[in-house]
Amino acid sequence: MARFASCCYLLLIWCICPASGQDDPITSAHNPPCEHTRLVQRYGGRGWARGEGAWPKLKPAFAPGPNTDVNWDLDDLTWTDARDESRSRYDLYSILDDHLRWMQTGGKLGKCADLNSVDVSDISLAYQILSNANLNQFTSSGDLREANLSFANLSGASLFGANLRGVNLSYADLRGAALSFARLDGAYLQGTDFKVQQLRGASLTGVDYEPTAQPPLNEIASATGLDAMTYESNPAALTELHKQFHEQGFKAQQGMTAYAIESTKDDDLLQTSIEDRIRLRTTVGFLRETKLRLRTIAEGCPKNLGNCISYLFRTISFNLTCRYGLSPWRPLMIVGGSWLVFSALYVFLLKSKGRRYIYLVVKRREGKGELRRPVMCEVRLDGRSGSRVTLIKKELMRALILVWVSMLFSLINTLNIDVKLLDKFNPWALIKRVLPREFDLQGKGLGKILGGLQTVISLFLIGLWAILMTHNPFD
């Protein structure tokens, strides 16, 4: 009797549940509801989703991995079609599934997705493939990250505040679209008609900016991340945008686009791929960005040693110092920082025993000749020499003198621009004229080497700052 009951129970389960190998989109709690979303999840929305390589063949169902960040188990989500009727998300996935079949078979099977005037703000379309789809008057403020919307008709679409990170909009039609406060970080805009209606507050960090039509200048001027845009091979769009900012007097935006162009030229020297360029600009965190930059240099330098040297020169001389004119006051900040760093080095030179590296040079009162003697930093105090208070005062005064002399010697090396063409404008020479007694601090041996290095660095940075204040050569 028990065996008969077990057989009846198994038969009932077999009749109710779908057979193994089939995928019921309604009852399955582990698989995406259609072949379209399943394929996109497997292939990650990149590579072939951007049009690179052949389309993959349909695969059997599989359970999503633990790293999947798209929630497929929200049964109460709905969307609104063109007739303002609420429909299930499974209807939308069926449309996407038919669109994928249509793409794979070249139009023989399936149907091109027609999402004209639909509102899918509550449903995630992350990693979906909607190439060539009709998305006219499409509305979404939700998740569209890394979706493939190449060749799609998005004219008049409302994407206010939508998450469009990494989305492929190559050759898409965005005329009249509303993209205010949308996140376009790392989006691809190659051949895109980017004449949108609204773009205020949108994030353009790491965008591959190569559209065929420019957005309104007032709209893109209010977007963020203009200095982190890039291009793969065609700088015409970014150069034209920079020219328009210059003509209309948008100084800040002009500097940002200039930096974007120059930094992309650096990437061209290393022959960096567009994916690595976008990754460099969208990576969050100084250590992560530095690690990725060093890896890019290590991969690009063996390809062309001459370009690698040019890249390092441009990066050290102009990118790190002033960001190609975007931060004109940074050279003076670096001069101030180097003054403190070299002051610390000179403290160690003064504390060294035996050889002396810094000398005090004073003109004799009699008139002729100079008195040159090493800086000893000795302190003499009245009172009992063996008392603890006296020793503490002596060491404290000696430390203060060491710091004072080191900072003064560092300041002299910073301001002592000993160049014949600039002799009349030597800041240290002007300062010495107002002192009650003219003196100088000069280095010897290692002190002279460090002093000369500091003077060269300061001369270059002060000259770069003066040039940027009068005329920015990168604009």
pLDDT value for 42: 34
What single string gives the DSSP state of each residue in 236-266? HHHHHHHHHHHHHT-HHHHHHHHHHHHHHHH
Distance of alpha carbon 286 from alpha carbon 88, whole angstroms: 44
Q: Are 118 and 80 in contact (CB under 8 A)?
A: yes
Average pLDDT over residues 318-322: 94
% of the chain at pLDDT higher than 90: 36
Domain residue extents for the chain: 35-50+88-209, 225-323, 332-470
**Residue 321 · residue 246 · CB < 8 Å:** no
Q: Are strands 188-190 and 208-210 parallel, antiparallel or unpaired?
A: parallel
Segment 242-263 shows an average pLDDT of: 94
Contact 123, 142 (CB under 8 A): yes
Least confident span in 215-224, 340-349, 427-436: 427-436
Write the CA distances from 390 to 172, 382, 385, 387, 404, integer angstroms: 81, 8, 6, 5, 21
Q: Which of 128, 150, 125 is nearest to 139 (CA)?
A: 125
Q: Kindly write down the DSSP assignment for every residue of 326-390, as one continuous string.
A: TSTTHHHHHHHHHHHHHHHHHHHHHH-SSS--EEEEEE-TTSSSEEEEE-------SS-TT-HHH
Q: Which range (106-120, 199-213, 364-378, 398-412) has the least confidence?
A: 364-378
For residues 111 and 134, is the Cβ–Cβ distance under 8 A? no
Give pLDDT, residue 92. 81
- When the pLDDT of each residue in the chain is averaged and rounded to a whole number, the result is 78
Give residue 435's pLDDT: 65
The Cα-based distances of 366 to 362, 369, 371, 398 in angstroms read 12, 8, 11, 31
- Answer whether residue 18 shows pLDDT above 60: no
Residue 73 identity: D
Local confidence band at 474 (pLDDT 50, 70, 90 cut-offs): confident
Rounded CA-CA distance 46/440 in Å is 65
DSSP-based three-state secondary structure for 139? strand
Domain covering 35-50+88-209, topology: Pectate Lyase C-like (2.160.20)
Supply the pLDDT for residue 286. 82
Indicate the range of 173-187, 196-210, 294-308, 343-357 predicted with least confidence: 343-357
User: Tell me: the pLDDT tens digits for 261-287?
Assistant: 999 999 999 989 999 999 999 988 888
pLDDT value, residue 325? 92
CB 135 within 8 A of CB 157: yes
Alpha-carbon span 248 to 213, nearest angstrom? 18
| Res 60 pLDDT > 90 | no
Q: Record the tokens describing residue 272, joined without a space.
A: 């960096």
Residue 103 has pLDDT above 70, yes or no: yes
The Cα 367–Cα 192 span in angstroms is 78
Instruction: Tell me how far apart the alpha carbons of residues 332 and 375 are, in angstroms, rounded to a whole number.
Output: 29
What was the pLDDT predicted at 101? 87
How many of the other CB atoms lie within 10 Å of CB of 7? 10
